[in-house]
Structure formats: C-alpha cells, structure tokens
Amino acid sequence: MALSLVLTFFYSVGTVILLPSPQELALGAATVAPGWAVITVAALGRAAGAYLLFFLGDRLKRWRKIQNWRAQEKKLQRWLLVTEKWINRLGAPALFFLLLIPGFPDTVISYVLALFGRRPWAFALAVAAASAFRLTLAYLGIFYLLSAH
C-alpha cells in the first residue's frame, strides 16, 4: 500500500511537470489503497509539481537565450503580452476550472501558467483543489459503476 501511494505521488508530480497524461490514471492505486488516501496523495503530488514547475518557469524566463529570442520576435512579444495579461487577470480561478475537464492532459496549460503567473501558492493550491475535486468525481463515478453491477 505504501509503495502504491509513493508511486501515486511521483506520478502526480510528473503529470504536472512532464507527463502529458490524465491524472485519473492515479486512481489505479485505489485497488490496493483507500480511495481517500490515493486522492489526497495525488492532490499533494500535483501541488508539489505545480510549485516546482512555477520555479522552473521562473528560472526559464530569466535565461539569457530566452530573453534574446523574446526580444527579437515581434509576433511572440504580442502573443506573450496578451497571454500574460489574460493569466494575471484570470489567474488561479481560471486554472481551477480548466483543470476540472475530465481526461484533460493539463501539462501544457500548467507550463503556460507557470511561465506567466505571479503567485506560486495560488497556482499550487488551484492545481491541488482541482485535482482533488476531479479525482473525487472520477472515483465516485467508477465506484458507482462497479457497485451497480
């Protein structure tokens, strides 16, 4: 059971940072661990991944090659300006609602928000809350379908 929860945590971190796969796959650990524990560990893993991703994005923004490329490309500058305004206006609530879409591989949106957001805690909490809510709904749906037969 403990190993499945550890693997669930690292998988959840990975779905934010690296793996473009749905987080619902973490519910497979519910076959050997309680559902509430799997959901809690997965939400904590996604929060940790979001927090790490925010700081990776912050470091990436300061990289000289990225700054030079951004300064040279006019279309990129306009797109980045619009994206940054949108993200800072809508922020964590928008991320929360985007992440509620079932089966949505959210790695790309997490990168965009990590690059342009300004509040790492709000980012991490939005990811964790949406993850917990989405996994709970998926778990209850699976539990209902299995108990109906």
Per-residue pLDDT tens over the stretch 123-137: 889 889 998 998 998
Residue reference for tokens 């693997």? 7
92: containing domain: 2-148
Predicted confidence at residue 104, as pLDDT, reads 63
How many folded domains does the chain comprise? 1
The answer to whether the beta carbons of residues 111 and 61 sit under 8 Å apart is no
41-58: pLDDT as tens digits: 999 999 999 899 888 877
Predicted confidence at residue 22, as pLDDT, reads 79
How far is the first Cα of the chain from the last one, in angstroms, to the nearest whole number? 26
In this predicted structure, the answer to whether residue 148 has a pLDDT above a threshold of 80 is no
- The winner for highest mean pLDDT among 44-48, 90-94, 102-106, 122-126 is 44-48
Tell me the residue length of the chain.
149
